[in-house]
Structure 1
Amino acid sequence: MRILVVEDDEELARTIADGLRYEGMSTDLAHDGGKALEMASAAEYDVLVLDRDLPVIDGDAVCRTLTAMGHPARILMLTAAGTLNDIVHGLGQGADDYLAKPFSYLELVARLRALGRRGPAGAPTVLERRGVRVDTVRRMAERDGRLLRLTPKELDVLEVLLEADGGALRPAELLKLVWDADIDPRSTIAKVTVHQLRRKLGDPPLIETVPGFGYRL
């Protein structure tokens, strides 16, 4: 699951991001509403953690803009005010959920996982190809009925390859889709993860290396 945390308090934003990364969620940061819209338009996020009180463009306007665009990301809105009227107003801007500050970190993680399980509107919850089946809600994968014991990143890579529907993806694209935006583009972690995933999928091999390009299922 890929998260964009939009919070102008940089220390709080870093704390949230570090915790979510520890939970296995790829997490990027934006500190104002203008940057949030720019990043959300350029990358595929599953959930935005969006503070209402933002510089440049406020959180309500960011939420309304993304909703009007039909952006597929779910939106969890954060606010210092947690009255019923505030919650109703926030949800009226197009947010999917609402969390008042100060909040429990465990509650934040639980809310994000619940939103991630819902996925974007219209997205399939089960991906299948060549005997490989991934349940994106239950976060389980199998091949020919055999349960695959995958790490969160291995499962994410497998999902992305399945979604490509036979198309080839460059390692840089895998880094962008599965890992954080801050990761070194020269990193070999995508290559290593694909190697481990190949081994766990077993024979006959399913992930093909396209010379000079990347990988496809």
Structure 2
Amino acid sequence: MNRQEALEHFHKTYAEDVLNEKLHQAASLYEHRKEELIFSFIQSFQSICLQANFTEVAKTRIGYITYSMRRTYLVDRNYNYVVEAYDKNWFFDPQPCYGIYDAGWAFSFLAELEDELNQLRKPYMNKIFQPDVERFVLQAAGEFHQYILKLAKDAIQQVVHLPEFKALKCEDDLEVRIGEYKGISEVVYSRAYGVLHDSTG
């Protein structure tokens, strides 16, 4: 078995099954702790709104609030999402408000995935290396991100009624986005259009 064959065998025999198991565990945890997780998400949103209202930046209207997964953090097993409030210039805002949201409840399963796959690669006798596992795990990160996106969608109905959010000076087209840091993100709320999903989805 050459290296390429070993990688294909490893993925089909172990990696995909262990990934599916961890995703199932994350889904189960979400359903069992949903209200607690929504409450924690709301607290992080309140915090960024308060910061935007009571700093020197408060004179600026907020155009975007973003929750961003950072793959560079994941490599170090730091599962904090970067929470930022920008003016209408988005990434070009020189002074965004900054906070964090701890997504460890979902991404701890990513760490378990990596640990288990590192054990399972050992019988392949120097054909599969730790960077191969890291690559697979980082690619899988987007699957776990979907639970943070689902959480945001489930929480947003309550978020938009927070007094801290209502007090925010915002642009008429303010958006709340969830996604990858300075990459692709999904709008879960638009001031112009309202909540952009079916809360049962």
TM-score by length of 2: 0.26
Higher helix content, 1 or 2: 2
Which is bigger in relative contact order (C-alpha 8 A, separation at least 6)? 2
